[in-house]
Amino acid sequence: MISVEKKPGHYLGTEINEKWWRRCMRDGLFARGNGEYWFENSCLFFRRHLTNEPIVISLSHVLDIKVGKWHSGKWAGGAPVVKIIWKKSAGRLSSGFIFSRDAAETELLVQEIRSLIQTDQGKRRA
């Protein structure tokens, strides 16, 4: 189960409509960097080092999750990149994160996030 424990990670940026050359420039989504992530209240939080406000993605807004090797024009050096596809007023966004350099650990986290999304969607339908 995903906990609220903060763990180190890397944010690679947010694309608009999954186009690597169209990066989102607002709401603190432009700057890349190392930081920490955690899950709380059905949301993913990622706070870059030297910033006060975290990026917040509500799992109820997540449309899909993909795993690749690069995002927003940045190659991850072989580390698996988790691409969270979500909707916001700006449209369809894709935010890229490195949560772990280990592929098996990343896949386990992705499965847990998918499970949380399905649980959240089931609660909203009931």
Residue 1 lies in a domain: no
pLDDT at 8: 97
Contacts 24+ apart (CB under 8 A), 102-111: 106/67, 106/80, 106/82, 107/67, 107/80, 109/2, 109/82, 110/65, 110/67, 110/82
pLDDT in tens, 44-103: 999 999 999 999 999 999 999 999 998 988 888 889 999 999 998 868 999 999 999 999
Residue 85 lies in a domain: yes
Distance CA 61, CA 88 (A): 7
| pLDDT band at 126; cut points 50, 70, 90 | low
pLDDT at 69: 93
| pTM tops 0.75 | yes
Residue 83 lies in a domain: yes
Give the up-direction half-sphere exposure of residue 76: CA atoms within 13 A in the CB hemisphere: 28
Domains identified in the chain, total number: 1
Residue 2 lies in a domain: no
Residue 67 lies in a domain: yes
Q: What is the CATH number of the domain that holds 62?
A: 2.30.29.30
pLDDT at 116: 84
Domain range for 83: 7-125
**What amino acid occupies position 66?**
K
pLDDT at 3: 62
Percent of the chain at pLDDT > 90 equals: 63
Distance CA 48, CA 72 (A): 17
Residue 109 lies in a domain: yes
